[in-house]
Chain A
């Protein structure tokens, strides 16, 4: 099997393109089904987070899809411009693809180095593809290996300690505006992983009120219960209360899967007067963006999005950068083991196929020889039996060697003679011609 990865991330693609290439849960499931339909022999997993969209595919070596076909598939599914996709995409194959996934899972490729959220996102992408029946033995082993390796590396190096999450950087941003949080109202829109992490970080600052809303109210209630946000001051509110919460909020965090901005400038402007000049810190963690960028130009509103966070964290991770080498060394061990197992499994299947093929030849020849033996009808001499056995062996050997030796046909311009010759010598422990007896005939 051949492992491939085609991806776009915060380093290669601008925010607008990442928005266009983002897949929500349903879209991702649809894309996986479509890819499986087009390439049934392939395994695939689609990882789509705020900062990256990556397609992992394992296919039989000589089967499609190629990287170009995957690019075309992405263009067709997202409607993004082919040129943009071409220029912003990265692709990796085999070990490089595995290394990329392991680095992503460990947070080494994240906007905030070592951030823990990406691990959960990798897990969910794997589970979704598994539910779509698109994960085979190669990607199972690869993703399970990546998840395990990520946990080990984080535990051993502590790279996820300190201000490593987007949410903790968000708190640092808020501190530029607010001195303390004890009299502040925090409102979160959405009920996903990012919102959960942001609320967990902000909760440590002990805000006066911590409220969350979501289109599916039950999910907001569930998240509030998970975070133990109880009482009158905290908890879930109805989606219809959005406007009143926009007035009450001092800090607003949004991360939903909406395809259009939830809060537009037109919607927000009339609420400004009711806010009576109180500053509002808004953090848009969603992709596509939930908050109209025009809101950031309004008075006393400080709006930041994912690109701003990226810019912020790039200069704050020098300390954790020192751990990257250590992490990569640890990861390399996991990658080697994982790829070794995948290759070993491939070789195992190959040996099984080879054994089956040889058995088939042997069975066929055994049948022919048995018929000839029966034809002798009991009048066989020892010499006749020996001739029969010699013919049997000769046919079996010829049949077995026919295909591999035909690759050594010097008239075939594509034949990699040197490679095959070396492989044969190594596999069958053969010596160079100079070492062979002079009367040995050329088997070819």
Chain B
């Protein structure tokens, strides 16, 4: 149910992430600003991390009052934000990856804003007690962590394209380079995509186990192979399967790998969006195994 104690801090965190993005963008656009101290960015990011951690703990202890931490879509988004914010904070302190925060911050803002929507307008709890709760928790966890990997890979890809564009156009020559090298970014893309791929694979496997082991039809219907969710999730998996092998396929290096990382994230997000958009039969209200209320399983 909508909970102001969750949504208001989430709104504040979203706004704060926007401020960090603006500050990071200023440092990239105007290298003279690089002399300015970094602590305001670190402080705001730290505050976002603490806010997310506090909210997550609050929802476990006060809202759910249960050991299962992820009981609604907003909890999953909070978990991703909680992981992503310190990851960006860490990146911010690494000279070799400096500048990546600019490209990762929009992702954090998106997730937090998504969390706001999930508390205010589209709040739906998971029915974890209905079917194989352990599998559900595992499925959700690997999906969210996989999404985090995809997000970092896409951020790295966007930054790769940006840095390459600057190098090709010879923009800002001689200015103190606030960006990571292309080689570092390519490594990041491949590593993040590998993490995302492994976790998405686990997500797919656990999802398959859930739909095949169930005695009754799930929300995907009896003909689950033909469902868009399965096809789109499969497509995203194939993209990442290609991406993590970029080193083997030389033509998928550099710029192409960057585009592919972005395409992978877009596909993952599109999977969720498409599944939500496509009309599906109303689940049987008496069916306790329905996954209809699990939109975040869009893997």
Contact = CB atoms under 8 A, between A and B. Distances in A.
Interface stretch (A68-76, A190-198, A271-279, A426-434): A271-279
B97 to A, nearest CB: 10
B65 interface: no
Given A277-B250, A279-B254, A177 B167 contact: yes
A315 B181 contact: no
Given A176-B177, A179-B184, A304 B170 contact: yes
Contact of B181 (A169, A179, A278, A311): A179
Interface in B183-224: 183-184, 187
B160 to A, nearest CB: 11
A177 B168 CA distance: 11
Contacts of A172: 177
B184 A277 contact: no
Given A179-B184, A313-B174, A276 B255 contact: no
A300 B175 contact: no
A176 B170 CA distance: 11
A314 B181 contact: no
Interface in A312-326: 312-316
Contacts of B96: 179
A179 B187 contact: yes
Interface string A202-238: 0000000000000000000000000000000000000
A315 B254 CA distance: 29
A176 B250 contact: no
Given A313-B174, A314-B174, A315-B175, A177 B251 contact: no
Contact of B167 (A176, A180, A311): A176
Nearest to A305: B170
Interface in A281-304: 296, 299-300, 302, 304
Query: Taking chain B's interface residues, is the majority helix, strand, or loop, or is none over half, making it mixed?
Result: helix
Given A176-B163, A279-B254, A316 B183 contact: no
A311 B172 CA distance: 9
Interface in B128-185: 163, 167-168, 170, 173-175, 177, 179-184
A279 B254 CA distance: 8
B173 A178 contact: no
A300 B253 CA distance: 10
A277 B170 contact: no
A302 B168 contact: yes
A319 to B, nearest CB: 12
A277 B253 contact: yes
Given A300-B255, A302-B167, A175 B174 contact: no
Given A177-B167, A177-B182, A311 B254 contact: no
Given A277-B250, A308-B173, A179 B183 contact: yes
A154 to B, nearest CB: 22
Given A179-B96, A311-B170, A313-B174, A299 B255 contact: yes
Given A176-B181, A177-B181, A300-B254, A312 B187 contact: no
Interface in B239-254: 250-251, 253-254
Contacts of A300: 253-255
A178 B174 contact: no
Contact of A277 (B168, B180, B181, B251): B251
A315 B30 CA distance: 13
A252 B96 CA distance: 23
Contacts of B254: 277, 279, 300
A169 B177 CA distance: 12
Majority DSSP secondary structure for residues of A touching B: loop
A271 to B, nearest CB: 14
Contacts of B187: 179
A178 B254 CA distance: 12
A163 B271 CA distance: 51
Contacts of B181: 175-179
A79 B18 CA distance: 59
Contacts of B177: 172, 175-176
B182 to A, nearest CB: 5
A278 B186 CA distance: 11
Contact of A316 (B168, B174, B253): B174
Interface in A260-280: 276-279
A312 B170 CA distance: 9
B282 to A, nearest CB: 50
B183 A312 contact: no
A300 B250 CA distance: 12
A180 B183 CA distance: 8
Contacts of B179: 176
A313 B173 CA distance: 8
Task: Identify the interface centre among B182, B251, B255: most chain A CB within 10 Å of its CB.
Answer: B182
A137 B251 CA distance: 64
B250 A276 contact: yes
A308 B96 CA distance: 24
A32 B191 CA distance: 61
28 contacts: A172-B177, A175-B181, A176-B163, A176-B167, A176-B182, A177-B182, A178-B182, A178-B183, A179-B184, A180-B183, A276-B250, A276-B251, A277-B251, A277-B254, A277-B256, A278-B253, A279-B182, A296-B168, A299-B255, A300-B253, A302-B168, A308-B173, A311-B173, A311-B174, A313-B174, A315-B173, A315-B174, A315-B175
Query: What 6 A-B pairs are tightest by C-beta distance, nearest first?
Result: A312-B174, A276-B250, A312-B173, A277-B253, A179-B183, A315-B174
Given A176-B177, A179-B181, A279-B254, 17 more contacts: A169-B174, A172-B177, A175-B181, A176-B179, A176-B182, A177-B167, A177-B181, A177-B182, A178-B181, A178-B183, A179-B96, A179-B180, A179-B187, A300-B254, A308-B170, A311-B173, A311-B174
